[in-house]
């Protein structure tokens, strides 16, 4: 199959042992000590999810489940718009969120007869915007007041991932594409990563007790294929590629949307903040992150922990000094 994106250099498995019985013995004796060449680091890859073109079709969810053979995790009608997935989990690595923003007060006003209402503005106002040739140009069309926002959520593949910091077994690693990857056979199910993730991405599987999350289709990337969700997305809402390239594309798109009146359009996670690293899976949002159920200002638990550690050490030292002082002072003969 033709590669869908360029993979310049790949790691190689360990060289084959010599054939024959001797080879078999050698393999069994030496195998645990053999090492392949580690894969060459590649330019970091990630997702850019443009929510302004998401149609909420959930093709990403199904493509992800099919490629990764994730189990269906129950038929529960939530009543929460069209979202019956609920949350990201060990079984659902993509989750399409639906946010209905409808102004109830305004809709009541609309039903008063004689009032224009709807998404239309009064005619007189519109005429003012009309250019001289009488033709309406796009810029007079304000973004609709009633909105149904959709967004396909996924692991953020943080540049400095708290889950990776928290993992005591080394199961969570950065692979050669700079993606955060959980090795399920090394994971011991301690769940520290679950507590560490500020986005609630990871859970433990009911089936095997290990933590699972989006691998950014590591197995596909190694073969030069784009991740299943990005491949299935019909409107290019989910875009995959080298992060640097994606950031450029995303910045351009935000400018475009702003020109068209989407004043709130912005990128989420494309830059590091004081409290958090940049995300390799970042988003173009049309409203505040909290509207989409994302933390407005994500905080790496480590940020707090640094102070806690310092304070602990400082208090410890102070306590020690105090004790010493007490003993020294108390020990002095009267």
Partner 1 sequence: MPGLGATLGRGAATTYQQDLANADCLLVMGSNMAEAHPVGFRWPLKAKENGATLIHVDPRFSRTSALCDVFVPIRAGTDIAFLGGLIRHVIEHDKWFREFVLAYTNAAVIVDEGFRDTEELGGLFSGFDPTDRTYDPQAGHWNYAGANGKTQHKDEGNPGTHGYGHMGGGEQHPQPQKDPTLRHPNCVFQILKRHFARYTPEAVAGVCGCSPEQVVRVAELLAANSGRERTSTIVYAVGWTHHTTGVQIIRAAGILQLLLGNMGRPGGGIMAMRGHSSIQGSTDVATLYDLLPGYLPQPTTDDAHSTLRGYLDKETLSTGYWANMPAFVVSLLKAWYGAAATPENEFGFGWIPRVDGDHSHLVTTDRMARGEMTGYFVFGQNPAGGGMNAGMQRAGLRALDWLVVADWFETETATFWKNDPTGPPPRDVKTEVFFIPAAGSPEKEGTLVNTQRLLQWHNQALDPPGDCRSDAWFVYQLGRRLKELYADSADPRDWPIQALTWDYDRRHPHTLPDRTASRIHDEPDTLRILQEMNGRTADGRLLQTFGELKDDGSTACGCWIYSGVTPEPGRNRANERDRTPGNPVEPNWGFAWPLNRRVMYNRASADPDGKPWSERKKLIWWDEAEQRWTGPDVPDFEPTKPPTYRPPAGATGMAAIAGDTPFIMKTDGLGWLYAAKGVKDGPLPAHYEPIESPVGNSLHPRQPDNPTVRTFPGPLNPLAAAPTADFPVVATTFRLTEHYLSGPMSRFNSWLNELMPEMFVECGPELAAEVGFANGDWVTVRTPRAGIVCRALVTSRIKPLRVDGRAVHQVGLPFHWAFAGETVGGNANDLTSIVADVNVSMHEAKVFAVRVEKGPAGGPGLLPTKRPVAWPTREPTPGTPPAAQPEGGYAHGG
Give, as ranges, the residues between 236 and 295 that touch partner 1 (CB under 8 A).
Answer: 236, 256
Tally Cβ neighbours within 10 Å of residue 318.
10
Helix (H) or strand (E) holding 284: strand 281-285
Tell me if residue 274 falls in helix, strand or coil: coil
Q: Please report whether residue 138 would count as binding partner 1 according to CB under 8 A.
A: yes
C-alpha 231: how far from its chain's center?
Answer: 17
CA–CA distance, 96 with 102 (Å, rounded to integer) = 19
Taking residues 198 to 227 in sequence order and writing x for each that binds partner 1 by CB under 8 A, - otherwise, the string is ---------xx-x-x--x--xx--------
Task: Decide whether 96 or 198 has the Cβ nearer to partner 1.
Answer: 96
Contacts (CB under 8 A) with partner 1, residues 118-137: 118-120, 122-123, 126, 134-136
Contacts (CB under 8 A) with partner 1, residues 2-21: none
Contacts (CB under 8 A) with partner 1, residues 140-169: 141, 143-144, 146-150
Q: Please report whether residue 32 would count as binding partner 1 according to CB under 8 A.
A: no
Burial of 306 (0-12, 13-18, 19+ CB in 10 A): exposed
CA–CA distance, 208 with 171 (Å, rounded to integer) = 15
Q: Which of 1, 15, 21, 104 binds partner 1 (CB under 8 A)?
A: 104
Task: Decide whether 54 or 276 has the Cβ nearer to partner 1.
Answer: 54
Shortest Å distance, C-beta 3 to partner 1: 18
Shortest Å distance, C-beta 130 to partner 1: 9
Q: Which of 107, 188, 312, 323 binds partner 1 (CB under 8 A)?
A: 107
Query: Comparing C-alpha atoms, which of 205, 250, 246 is closest to residue 93?
Result: 205
Taking residues 74 to 93 in sequence order and writing x for each that binds partner 1 by CB under 8 A, - otherwise, the string is xxxxxx-xx-xx-----x-x
Task: Decide whether 13 or 333 has the Cβ nearer to partner 1.
Answer: 13
Task: Decide whether 183 or 277 has the Cβ nearer to partner 1.
Answer: 183
Task: Decide whether 100 or 308 has the Cβ nearer to partner 1.
Answer: 100
Assess contact for 200 and 88: CB atoms under 8 A: yes
**CA-to-CA dists, residue 311 to 260, 262, 315, 322, angstroms:** 50, 45, 6, 16
Assess contact for 85 and 127: CB atoms under 8 A: no
Query: Comparing C-alpha atoms, which of 282, 276, 300, 298 is closest to residue 46?
Result: 282
Find tokens 């939530």 and name the residue: 78
Contacts (CB under 8 A) with partner 1, residues 48-77: 53, 55-59, 61-62, 65-77
């Amino acid at each position: 199959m033709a590669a869908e994106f360029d993979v310049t250099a790949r790691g190689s498995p360990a060289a084959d042992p010599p054939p024959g019985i001797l080879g078999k013995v050698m393999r069994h004796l030496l195998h645990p000590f053999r090492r392949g060449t580690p894969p060459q680091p590649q330019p970091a890859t990630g997702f850019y999810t443009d929510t302004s073109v998401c149609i909420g079709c959930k093709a990403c969810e199904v493509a992800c489940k099919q490629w990764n053979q994730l189990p269906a995790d129950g038929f529960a009608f939530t009543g929460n718009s069209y979202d019956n997935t609920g949350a990201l989990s060990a079984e659902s690595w993509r989750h399409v969120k639906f946010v209905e923003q409808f102004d109830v007060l305004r809709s009541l006003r609309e039903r008063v007869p004689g009032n224009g209402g709807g998404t239309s503005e009064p005619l007189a106002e519109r005429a003012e915007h009309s250019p001289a040739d009488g033709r309406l140009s796009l810029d007079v069309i304000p973004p609709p007041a009633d909105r149904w926002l959709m967004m396909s959520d996924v692991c953020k593949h943080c540049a400095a991932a708290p889950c990776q910091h928290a993992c005591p077994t080394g199961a969570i690693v950065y692979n050669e594409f700079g993606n955060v990857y959980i090795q399920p056979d090394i994971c011991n199910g301690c769940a520290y990563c679950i507590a560490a993730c500020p986005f609630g991405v990871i859970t433990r599987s009911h089936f095997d007790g290990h933590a699972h999350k989006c691998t950014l289709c590591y197995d596909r990337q190694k073969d030069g294929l784009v991740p299943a969700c990005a491949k299935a997305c019909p409107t290019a809402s989910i875009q995959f590629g080298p992060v640097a390239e994606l950031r450029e594309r995303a910045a351009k798109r935000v400018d475009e949307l702003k020109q068209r009146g989407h004043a709130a359009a912005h990128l989420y996670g494309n830059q590091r903040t004081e409290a958090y690293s940049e995300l390799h899976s970042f988003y173009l949002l049309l409203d505040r992150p909290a509207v989409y159920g994302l933390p407005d200002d994500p905080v790496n638990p480590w940020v707090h922990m640094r102070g806690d550690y310092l304070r602990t050490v400082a208090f410890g030292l102070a306590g020690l000094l105090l004790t010493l002082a007490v003993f020294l002072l108390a020990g002095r003969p009267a």
